[in-house]
Each structure stands twice: as C-alpha cells, then as structure tokens.
A and B are shown apart, each in its own frame.
Chain A
Amino acid sequence: MTDVLLLARTHVLTAIRERVTLFWFLIFPIFLLAILSFVFGQLGQEGEISFEVSLVNLDRGAAGSFSEMIESVFDDLAQSGEEGKEPLFQLRRPTSEEDAGAFLDSETLAVRRGRRAALVVIPEGLGRRIETELVTIGPSHGAASSDEAALQIYYSEGNASSDMAVAIIDQVLAGIDREILARTGRFDPQAAIPSSTTWVGSTSEETRYVDFLLPGIVLMGLFTNALFGIPGAILFARDQRVLRRYWVTPLSVPRFLGGLGLGHVALSALQIAILVVFGRYALGATVRFASPTALLLLLLAIATFMAFGFLVASVSKTGTSSMAIANILNMPMMFLSGLFFPITGLPAFIRAIVYANPISYLADGLRASVGVGTPLFSTGLAVGVPLAWIALSAGVAVWRLRWDVGR
C-alpha cells in the first residue's frame, strides 16, 4: 500500500512544486473567480433607473375596487412618462392563461436571484379591507378573515435595486393612501393601506453572482487540472523514461494508476477547498458544497475529468502533442458547458456540442445541488452522460494508451 500512497504523494508534490502547474492549478481559477465576480457582480447596479417589478392581483372583486385602483397606479408607473425616458417600473404580470400560483412561485425565486427588484401581491380581500378600514370608519365593521389581507411586497435584502424598489413602492403606496383619503373626503394621518414586506433571500447582488460562479469555477479548475495534469503526468514521464524505471521494478500498471488517481483526487480536493475558502471569505459566496449530493457530484466530476485526461493521453503521440490537444479542447469545452453563462437560447449546432459535453451536465447538477438554479437535466442524464464518458475514455485508454516508449 505504501507504493500507492508514495506515488500519490509524488503526483501531488510534482504538481505543486512546479510553478507553471501551480499557476494553472490554483492561481488562474482564483484570479478568474475574483475578476468575473468583480466585473459582473457590479452590473445592473450602476445608473439604474428602471426596476423590474412583478405584480399579481389576486383580488378579483368588482370593477372599480381599490385593488384595481392600486393595480392601475402601478400600470401607470410602468408607462414611459417623458419621451426617451425609461419608465420607473418594468411591470411583469401573469398572462391570462398563466396560473397565478405558479407565477408567484417563479417570481419569488426571481426576486431571490436578483432578476426582479420586487414582487407585489394584492391578496384576495384587500379591496374590501381598504373599504371597511379606510373608507368606512373603524375596524369593528368587518370581521371576516379576509380583513387580515394586506398588500405583500417581496424583496431581497442587501440587493441595492431591490432596496430602492421597495422604498419607491412605499412612496407609491403613501400616494395611493392620500388619493383614497382625498377621494373619500377624509384625512387620517394614521390610515394607510395595510401592507407587509417579506424578505425572500439573504444574498446581495454581488454574492448572488459569486454563488452562481463558484461551482462553475470549481469545475473549471478540476477540468483544467485533469485535462493537462493527467496526460502530462503519464506521457512526459513515459517519454522521459521515468515510467520505464518503474516498470523494471515489481510495480504494476494498476498500482501506478492507483497512486496517480489517489494523488489526483487529493490535488482536486485541495483545489476545491482553496477555491471555496477564497470564494467564501474573500468574495462572500454562500453556497455550500457540504451536502452528500454535491460531494458525490464533485467526485463524479473528478472521475469524469480524469477519464477525459486519459482519453487525451491515449490519442496523443507525445506529452507535447497532448498539451496541444488539451489546449484545443480546453476553451470550447469550458465555454460551451454553461460554466459561466446559461446554455439555453444558444444556436442549435452549438447546443449539440453543449449536450455532448459532460461538463454541461455536471455544472447543471452541481449548481442545482448547491441551490443556485433549477436543474435543466434529469438526474439520470446528469449522472449518465458523465458515466458514459468515463466508460468511453476507459475503453480507449485500455486500447490505445502505451505505458512505455518504443516497445
């Protein structure tokens, strides 16, 4: 067993003692994580004058009710006031055939992810409650449970545009209050439309992007590490006759592979740990990889990428040509996988590449498992496609990979 452990140690040591490897292995992913989160994390916060707000009116009472009036006020604010000027709100409403409940769910999620500044819900019975409490004096009148109905505002704390939108909505509601009172000829400074605000997420705009990005960067790091590291470790060692020195001892290829695999998993674990710690403490990421599903997916990712490394090693003549092949594969495979941006809405021929790319499934599955994003693919696909790649690569490696030169 010592031989396998010492070979693993050898793989780890040679990787971290060589500066070039260390750069691609650690510094580059950290650098990319920092750059991308700083650049894209700030987007949508500067010079924003228009807020995307969703509005759902569940109070389908008589025409001319107060609920309808509130709705129309928001409608007005969503119209462009002056020429060339953006309206204050970009209002999203459920379409007539859309189920209000489903719309509510998806929009709540959108607020949490920062795609909407706020969600305003007019509950059933709000109109009547306003009528009884604000217009007809005294709360004693109405006794129905619908009297508890209050305008609900969902927002995301720490998200600048969400905070601003809520402040604006408060102003709008105050305006509506005054309008109602003026209309009914009463003025009670205490009276106000009953409303409640609900906080739907703990992530700010910046950390939200970092949370989306971090699983992608982790996968990128693992992929690059395996794509270059595995063929490098095998082919350069083979070409320089480092391996031949091993083969004249009782060491077997399976034990060598055991050591290489173990060393690679250890390196990958180190890489994940450093990226997650950096993401969390330097960039404020909150995603947690500690769930069994996430850990299993990370293991699957390490295995898939390692297999991919073996595939590259198998089809390369020399260590140098394996680096060229890895370079050719690296960028397209990373960018056509949804690591850095969503893969929906790409042209069909590119989508074909995306769907053949195991990283797409791993990225999708990992993001879902850490709670950023709903999965696009079924669990069967998320696990099956990478497993198919592992099987294919193993087959090609057994068939083509040569463990010594000139034999």
Chain B
Amino acid sequence: MSDALLRVTDLVKHYGDVRAVDGVSFSAADAAVFTLLGPNGAGKTTTLEILEGIRDPDSGTIEIFGRRLRRVDRATKQRIGVLLQEGSFEPYLRAREVIRLFASFFRSSRSVDEILDRVALTDKASAFVKNLSGGQKQRLAIGAALVNNPDLVFLDEPTTGLDPQARRNVWSVVADLKATGVAIVMTTHYMEEAEALSDHVCIMDYGRLIAEGPPRELSARLGQETIVEFTADGIGEDDLAPLATCCKAARLEADLVSVETEDLVPTMESLLAWSKDRGIRLANMTVRQPNLEDVFLSLTGRRLRE
C-alpha cells in the first residue's frame, strides 16, 4: 500500500500516565470508508485528533497525501474535511452563514447552495443554528467539513446521540460521499454503523489496534460459527452447564443467553430438549451470523458498549 492516502506508523500519545494511543499503525486508501471501531476510551478520537491537527503525537509518524508530517500543516488542512465529535457553531448564525464562513477559510470551495443541498438542509438555510435539531446540526457540521471539496474526510463519531432516523440520514450522506471518490476515515462505537458503512475496520481497545480488515473478513475469523440468542427468566450460570456438551460456548448476560456453535442443527435439538427438561421458556430467540460485536467480544471478553 505504497500509494496510501493516509499512513500512520507507531503513533503514541500520553495523557499524563495514561497511554491513550499506544503504538497504532494503519493506512487508508482512496474511495473507501476506513473505520476505527472500539468502546469509549479506546483512543479512537485521540488518534483522529492527531490526524486533524488538533493534537501533536508524542511519537510516531504521519503521512498524508504522500507527505510525511511531524504535525498536520495548513497545506494539508486545505485538502481535508473534519467533523469533530464535539463541536458547535455560533448559535445565532444562520445555516447558510455558517457554510459561507467556513468556505472563506479555504482557498477554493464549493458553493453554499451546493453544500446545503448535499446535506439536505436547503429548506433550513435561513434557520439559526440554535433552532436546528440534533440531526440537522450534525448534517450542517458535515456540510462545513465538505466546503473545501476535500480529498480526505475525518468523521469522529458521526451519529453519536442521534435518533435512528437522523442516523440513517447521516449514513446516506456518508454513502454519497464515498460514491464521489472521497476517502473517509471515521470512528464509531456502533457495530452496526461500522458494518453498514466500512470497507475496512480497525478494532481498537486501550489505545491499541487489536484487529483489522474488511468487516466480513473480521467476522469470518470466528470460523463457521452461528450464534443463537434468547432470553430466559430466572436462569443462573448452573443452568448453562449441560449446554457445554452441545456447543462451542454459552454465555449469560443478565437474562440474555448467547450460544455459539459450528453445527446448528444438533445444537438446536439439544437446546429444545434442555428447555423442556428444565422448564425454561426460550423467549426472543434469534439465530444469526457473527458480527463485529462478536469479534470484539471474542477478542476482549467484553462488549463494545460496556
């Protein structure tokens, strides 16, 4: 990957004694969505903030657009777009004024109308920032990140705190963006989001990169597994003991039971017998293929949202 748009090598950043980013290396390519997935505090945002020029790394190298940088400079900023995880606009500016202001910071920029259209805010062009909904504010922020027609866009937790409808709107903006050939580097702690949007996922935990690859490939690493999940009232760890013989692993979290198996049919038969035997009702049963959440679980023993 010598033609990488973005390459990071052995990136380290400390906050006091905490190694927030602990020797992270990866590279991202054109026209693809590259995702840093991990729980809160995994070091995703710090990594992104170094790439955005907000923070300086303690050590490690950054290469953007084929240029090796100690820290992100103005020339690089002309070509990147950034959506910050936390960030706001002057509440008494109108949406149109925000985009116009941000456009003025760059040497070249798209027209205000084009940007507003792209993030579906044309009918809110005259609204004050303070009167926009959470989703509209987020789309405005994405618009501001796109004014300079960037070659590389950083999206830090683009849908955190948004309702499902607003989240889907943001997803469609990201998909459109990818279709126009822009490289996107984003962070998320939503497994569905990483799965829905990413071409390449890096799973991070405690400042380290613990796995990376295309989402399907990552899931496939768990083998030919199938996961059966159901809820059962008043069940204890002891009840799970007999299941050890019929499946690869069985886990209990609150009242949710997850059973991993490589051979579904015998497992299902055993489960039904077990349920009849013990008088346990199998509610909300689902049978599914492993996802990134399961990958994370199998690597760390914890769930993403813990």
Does the CB pair B87–A245 fall under 8 Å?
yes
Q: Pick the most buried of A13, A17, A248: most chain B CB atoms within 10 A of its CB.
A: A248
CB proximity to B under 8 Å, residues A1-54: 2-3, 5-7, 10, 13-14, 17-18
Does the CB pair A249–B105 fall under 8 Å?
yes
Please name all residues of chain A whose beta carbon is closer than 8 Å to the beta carbon of B141 when the two chains form the complex. Answer: 245
Q: How far is the CB of A274 from chain B (nearest CB, A)?
A: 20
B268 part of interface (Cβ distance < 8 Å): no
Instruction: Compute how far the CA of A72 lies from the CA of B30 in the bound complex, rounded to whole angstroms.
Output: 105
Q: How far is the CB of A234 from chain B (nearest CB, A)?
A: 12
What is the interface residue range for chain B against chain A? Answer: 20 to 34
Does the CB pair B93–A10 fall under 8 Å?
yes
Binds B, one of A60-68, A235-243, A380-388: A235-243
Give chain B's interface secondary structure class: loop
Does the CB pair A2–B104 fall under 8 Å?
yes
A14 contacts which of B80, B84, B93, B107 (Cβ < 8 Å)?
B93
B210 part of interface (Cβ distance < 8 Å): no
C-beta contact mask, B35-59 vs A, less than 8 Å → 1, else 0? 0000000000000000011110000
Q: Which residue of A lies closest to B79 (CB)?
A: A250
Please name all residues of chain B whose beta carbon is closer than 8 Å to the beta carbon of A245 when the two chains form the complex. Answer: 82, 84, 87-89, 102, 141, 144
Does the CB pair A6–B100 fall under 8 Å?
yes
C-beta contact mask, A234-265 vs B, less than 8 Å → 1, else 0? 00010011101111111110000000000000
A407 part of interface (Cβ distance < 8 Å): yes
Q: How many A-B residue pairs have CB under 8 A?
A: 72
Does the CB pair A10–B90 fall under 8 Å?
yes
Q: Which residue of B lies closest to A237 (CB)?
A: B90
Q: Which residue of B lies closest to A245 (CB)?
A: B87
Q: How far is the CB of B99 from chain A (nearest CB, A)?
A: 11
Q: How far is the CB of A76 from chain B (nearest CB, A)?
A: 70
Please name all residues of chain B whose beta carbon is closer than 8 Å to the beta carbon of A6 when the two chains form the complex. Answer: 100-101, 104
B106 contacts which of A13, A244, A250 (Cβ < 8 Å)?
A250
Q: Pick the most buried of A2, A14, A249, A250: most chain B CB atoms within 10 A of its CB.
A: A249
Instruction: Compute how far the CA of A237 lies from the CA of B77 in the bound complex, rounded to whole angstroms.
Output: 21
Q: Which residue of B lies closest to A248 (CB)?
A: B82
Does the CB pair A240–B88 fall under 8 Å?
yes
Instruction: Compute how far the CA of A252 lies from the CA of B55 in the bound complex, rounded to whole angstroms.
Output: 15
Please name all residues of chain A whose beta carbon is closer than 8 Å to the beta carbon of B77 when the two chains form the complex. Answer: 248-250
Instruction: Compute how far the CA of A3 lies from the CA of B104 in the bound complex, rounded to whole angstroms.
Output: 5
Does the CB pair B105–A246 fall under 8 Å?
yes
Does the CB pair A248–B52 fall under 8 Å?
yes
Please name all residues of chain A whose beta carbon is closer than 8 Å to the beta carbon of B148 when the two chains form the complex. Answer: 249
A59 part of interface (Cβ distance < 8 Å): no
Does the CB pair A13–B92 fall under 8 Å?
yes
Does the CB pair B144–A14 fall under 8 Å?
no
B78 part of interface (Cβ distance < 8 Å): yes
A404 part of interface (Cβ distance < 8 Å): yes
Q: Which residue of B lies closest to A256 (CB)?
A: B105
CB proximity to A under 8 Å, residues B79-130: 80, 82, 84, 86-93, 97, 100-102, 104-107, 128
Instruction: Compute how far the CA of A184 lies from the CA of B144 in the bound complex, rounded to whole angstroms.
Output: 99
Does the CB pair A242–B88 fall under 8 Å?
yes
Does the CB pair A242–B105 fall under 8 Å?
no
Does the CB pair B92–A242 fall under 8 Å?
no
Please name all residues of chain A whose beta carbon is closer than 8 Å to the beta carbon of B101 when the two chains form the complex. Answer: 3, 6-7, 10
Q: Take A242-B90, A248-B53, A248-B77 as given contacts and tell me if A13 and B97 are in contact as well, using a CB distance cutoff of 8 Å.
A: yes
Instruction: Compute how far the CA of A25 lies from the CA of B90 in the bound complex, rounded to whole angstroms.
Output: 19
Instruction: Compute how far the CA of A246 lies from the CA of B141 in the bound complex, rounded to whole angstroms.
Output: 12
Instruction: Compute how far the CA of A248 lies from the CA of B102 in the bound complex, rounded to whole angstroms.
Output: 11
Q: Take A241-B86, A242-B87 as given contacts and tell me if A248 and B54 are in contact as well, using a CB distance cutoff of 8 Å.
A: yes
Does the CB pair A13–B88 fall under 8 Å?
no
Known: A242-B88, A249-B148. 7 other contacts (CB 8 A): A3-B104, A244-B86, A244-B87, A248-B80, A249-B102, A249-B105, A249-B106
Residues of B participating in the A interface, judged by any CB pair closer than 8 Å: 52-55, 74, 77-78, 80, 82, 84, 86-93, 97, 100-102, 104-107, 128, 141, 144, 148
Q: Which 8 A-B pairs have the closest CB atoms?
A: A248-B82, A17-B92, A249-B105, A3-B104, A241-B87, A2-B104, A251-B105, A14-B92
A-B contact pairs, 20 of them (CB 8 A): A2-B104, A5-B104, A10-B101, A13-B97, A14-B91, A17-B128, A241-B88, A242-B90, A245-B84, A245-B88, A245-B89, A245-B141, A248-B54, A248-B80, A248-B82, A249-B106, A250-B74, A250-B78, A250-B106, A407-B55
